[in-house]
Copies of this chain bind each other. A is one copy, B any other.
Amino acid sequence: MTVRGPRAREGGARGAVPEGYDPHAFEPFAVTVDLAVFTVREGVLHALLIRRGQEPYAGAWALPGGFVLPRESTDLAARRELAEETGLPDDLVAGLHLEQLRTYSDPDRDPRMRVVSVAYTALVPDLPEPHGGGDAAHAEWVAFGSYGHLAFDHAEILADARERIGAKLEYTCLATSFCPPEFTLGELQQVYETVWGTVLDRPNFRRKVLATPGFVEQVAGASRLTGGRGKPAALHRAGPATALHPPLLRPEGRQT
């Protein structure tokens, strides 16, 4: 990029800084981050949302987020907002997978002023309620799709995020981010089924996961009853691998 007043394009080479350039001379852009945070709860995909109190869109759900501070990268702002708005412990937030989705910049996406927003996606395991008890935690888990109209263009962001995550599950080991530190292969499979909205064959899923070196590691000796019924499942934890080669493709290109 180049610093140059937006109206100062006199055909010069890119990078010309007009003398006397004044950052305050034109209507500024506000830069914000929006967070599309997902978890899987009892087999249902949930997003972290906040109920808006003010116009516009008062009463509607909205994504957590906020302004990028003057000396902050958007990555940092996203992590800070996530910690603030969820009340999750800092060390947990520090370890979360947080990924830039894309930037939304329609001039009219906020009716009040020009706001360019960088959207991020995070995957978190099913946690106790997000309120940490402090004043900053108003976020709630809402089942995907079971909200009315979201504020601003947040419905589009959330849909894009879900699609991106679904795609990433195919060729990365990201699914373990949805799981607690120790999990069963059945729980891991449910992550895939929930995000993709499909049903997978259990033995085949198992075969694929175990055949990928470093995807999961078996926890020696431990096992857990899935809820009382059935044979207890072996516990696993996430392995060091991050990519899935070859990918685990979702059956036929259908979405939910």
Contact = CB atoms under 8 A, between A and B. Distances in A.
A129 interface: no
A13 B53 contact: yes
A41 interface: no
A44 to B, nearest CB: 24
A97 interface: no
Given A13-B138, A73-B105, A247-B247, A68 B29 contact: yes
A65 B28 contact: no
A3 B30 contact: yes
B54 A1 contact: no
B29 A31 contact: yes
Most buried by B among A14, A26, A54: A14
Contacts of A91: none
A3 B29 CA distance: 11
Q: Dominant SS at the A interface?
A: loop
Interface in A1-49: 1-6, 9, 11, 13-17, 23-24, 26-34
A68 to B, nearest CB: 7
Nearest to A30: B3
Q: How many copies does the complex hold?
A: 2
Nearest to A53: B13
Interface residues of A, number: 69
Interface in A71-98: 71-75, 85
A117 to B, nearest CB: 4
B107 A70 contact: yes
A110 interface: yes
Contacts of A16: 53-54
29 contacts: A1-B32, A1-B33, A1-B65, A3-B115, A4-B66, A5-B67, A6-B69, A6-B70, A9-B67, A11-B135, A14-B65, A15-B54, A15-B151, A17-B112, A23-B28, A23-B113, A26-B28, A26-B70, A27-B70, A29-B68, A68-B105, A72-B107, A74-B105, A74-B116, A102-B103, A116-B118, A245-B253, A246-B249, A247-B247
4 pairs of A and B residues whose beta carbons are closest in the complex: A28-B28, A1-B32, A1-B117, A74-B105
